[in-house]
Amino acid sequence: MDGVQFVLFDISEALVEAWRCALEEHVPEAARSRFTIRLTQLEDETFPEETFDCIVSPANSYGRLDGR
């Protein structure tokens, strides 16, 4: 899993803050650099093509891929 990076983002300030707290509490310091946490939405993010293998969203369970 070398080189694996995780980007967590949401529009909820409370959720983003909870992720930050959980990261500090539960993820070893050596692995924290693999995580990026942002207060944003998918439409506002730009990713170079082919830099990720998977997008996971709770909306996926409804067959929606727009992150809403």
Taking Cα atoms as reference points, which of 51, 50, 49 lies closest to residue 36? 51
pLDDT of residue 61: 59
- Separation CA 9–CA 36 (nearest Å): 8
Q: Helices in 1-60 by DSSP H: which ranges?
A: 13-26
**pLDDT reported for residue 18:** 95
Give the pLDDT score at 1: 58
Instruction: Note down pLDDT in tens along the chain; length 68 residues.
Output: 567 888 888 899 999 999 999 999 999 999 999 999 999 887 787 776 667 777 776 665 566 656 55
Who contacts 65 (Cβ-Cβ below 8 Å, separation ≥6)?
55, 57, 59
